[in-house]
Amino acid sequence: MPKQIRMPKLSDTMEEGTLIAWRKSAGDAIRRGEILADIETDKADMEFESYTEGTVHSFLIEPGACVPVGTLIAVIQLPGETPEQVEASLSGTAEASPQAPAAPRPAMATQAAAPAFLPATAPATPVGEMGPMAPAGPRLVTPFDLDPDRLRATPRARQLAEERSVDLDELEGTGPGGAILVADLEAYLQQLESQAEDPEGVRATPLALRMAPDLGVDLEAVKGSGPGGRVTKSDLLEHVKREQSRSAEREAELFRGTLQLSQKRRALIRNMVKSKDEAPHFYLEMDVQTDALREVRDRANASSGGDGAGRPRLTYTHLMIKAAAMALEKFPDVNSTYRGDDQQIALYDVINIGLAVDVQDELVAPTVKHCQGKSVFQLAEETNALVQRARMRKLQPADYADGTFTISNLGMFGVDRFYAIITPPQSCILSVSAIQQRPIVREGEIAIGSLTTLGLSVDHRVLDGVKAAQFLGELRRLLECPEELVQDVPGLGS
């Protein structure tokens, strides 16, 4: 039997995958562990390894196709099999698939002469007790159309409806099988004559008046064709159909095309909507002077240039991660999450800081793990490695997992201030804006200094304003007195 390859579930939250490229061609030999395809999941672009040996027989989807997990995507011909055997096996599988049972034919199709209805008083006769058959008599002719898709009405009722411009869809028949009779039509017309005047002066049938609010239609915009120029159900539905057609035409004029969302973008949208729906956000901001931070950064980079230590060059982002880790250690309540099912707040035992990164028009947030106790240079090395993998689109699901706090930095784009959306299930996210030259007051004198604005988005279920303000104040203190950020680095600490 050939091996059927199906779309794999490459992450816990993956529901569908997009094929980026096949690494093999039909007819190629493949060994266990070789890369068969590149697949985009909701977390990352991943390599899919073959778990069997053989020859690639066929591919069932093209690159760019997005299919649910479990969908058949390829067939591997096993050693010893021939292409003919594979084809026969696949054909046999298709033939063995259960087919839906054929729908029974309606009784009217097999008994064309049967009456459309029987008197209600005629009792059913058990098959075993049937007496002699009655002599053949004249066939009962039905007084209305038996087509189940056509509204049932007597010919005279149809003729009268056409003469009086009545929409038969508005009526409920009282005849056999729900057929509309002349009496039904006359009663309906009498009802219209006694209908109260609409407060807004709109002439419409009672059914159209009930339907219009549900369809969101202004009856004044609908031309009526019913008795006395009234708007009927059919007029209403035709109006809706025309408006939908016009809407499609307007859309074609407004838009020049669409963009296909990647799996990661879809996951991001789901998470952001979930966050705003479930987490009551509130926001704080503080201005931070960064002159001392720049001096510490420049001194650290100068000292690492010629000491042979091979330390990475520090950036403001590296120092921000270090400061956030230290502030989270001091305020562990910030490093927590709300559990709605248990009505509890769970405190994380580790500090894993996610860093929002824009990669080829996609936002990702790889996570620097176990930040507590690490030096700023250790954090810089791990951050640089994650960012490099992100830019090469080589991040794995584990690189995104288990974040407890996130930093989003738009300072390099000149943004004055902003507030990011909390990443579920975290309770806070820090937004970092551009460093700018601004007038500040120092010891009663106005001077020019470098400042940035930090914004903190907070889940009010987890933290109140006081605790969040204390955390943000500690973060500002560490950045304005940054010697603590490098005190564990030989040659830099005070």
Domain hosting 329: range is 264-486
Which residues are part of the catalytic machinery? 460
Same domain, 359 and 221: no
Identify the CA nearest to 43 among candidates 389, 341, 343: 389
pLDDT at 202: 65
Statement to judge: residues 323 and 270 lie in one domain: yes
214 and 362, same domain (yes or no)? no
Q: Give the per-residue pLDDT at 205.
A: 81
108 phi and psi, to 5 degrees?
-65, -25
318 shares a domain with 236: no
What is the reported pLDDT for 421?
96
Q: Do 406 and 319 sit in the same domain of this protein?
A: yes
Residue 133 belongs to some domain of the structure: no
Residues 279 and 390 in one domain: yes
Domain match, 329 and 385 both: yes
Across the chain, what does the average pLDDT equal?
A: 82
User: Helix, strand, coil: what percent of the chain each, to 5?
Assistant: 35, 20, 45
ω into 138 cis (within 30 of 0)? no
Closest CA to 189 of 168, 208, 215: 168
Residues 6+ apart with CB under 8 A from 51: 32
Q: Which of 77, 93, 109 is the last residue of a domain?
A: 93
Q: What is the pLDDT of residue 150?
A: 54
In the sheet that holds 29-30, the strands lie side by side as: 3-6, 72-77, 54-59, 29-30
Q: Is the pTM of this model over 0.75?
A: no
| Same-domain check for residues 292 and 225 | no
pLDDT value for 73: 94
Indicate if the pLDDT at residue 111 is higher than 50: no
Residue ending a domain, choose from 226, 254, 282? 254
The better pLDDT of the pair 302, 369 is held by 369
pLDDT bin (cut points 50, 70, 90) of residue 243 is confident
CA dihedral 409, 413, 417, 422 (to 10 degrees): -40
Query: In this structure, is residue 115 part of a structural domain?
Result: no
Asked if the structure places residue 330 within a domain, the reply is yes
Number of domains in the chain: 3
Q: Same domain for 241 and 277?
A: no
Beta strands in 100-203 (DSSP E): none
Q: Where residue 369 sits, what CATH number does that domain have?
A: 3.30.559.10
Query: Is residue 130 very low, low, confident or very high in pLDDT (cuts 50, 70, 90)?
Result: very low
Give the lowest-confidence range in 24-38, 190-204, 226-240, 322-336. 190-204
What's the confidence (pLDDT) of residue 82?
87
Which CATH number is 14's domain given?
Answer: 2.40.50.100
Confidence of residue 197 (pLDDT cuts 50, 70, 90): low
Q: Do 271 and 210 sit in the same domain of this protein?
A: no
pLDDT, residue 252, reads: 78
Residue 455: pLDDT over 90: yes
pLDDT digits (tens, 9 = 90+) for 382-438: 999 999 998 888 888 899 899 999 999 999 999 999 999 999 999 999 999 999 999
At which of 254, 281, 316 does a domain end?
254
Q: pLDDT for 71-80, tens place per residue?
A: 999 999 999 8
Residue 109 lies in a domain: no
pLDDT the model gives residue 408: 95
Residue 310 has pLDDT above 80, yes or no: no
- Please check whether residues 247 and 271 belong to one and the same domain: no
Assess whether 270 and 341 both reside in one domain.
yes
Residue pair 493/467 in contact by the 8 Å Cβ criterion: no
Highest-pLDDT range among 104-108, 360-364, 488-492: 360-364
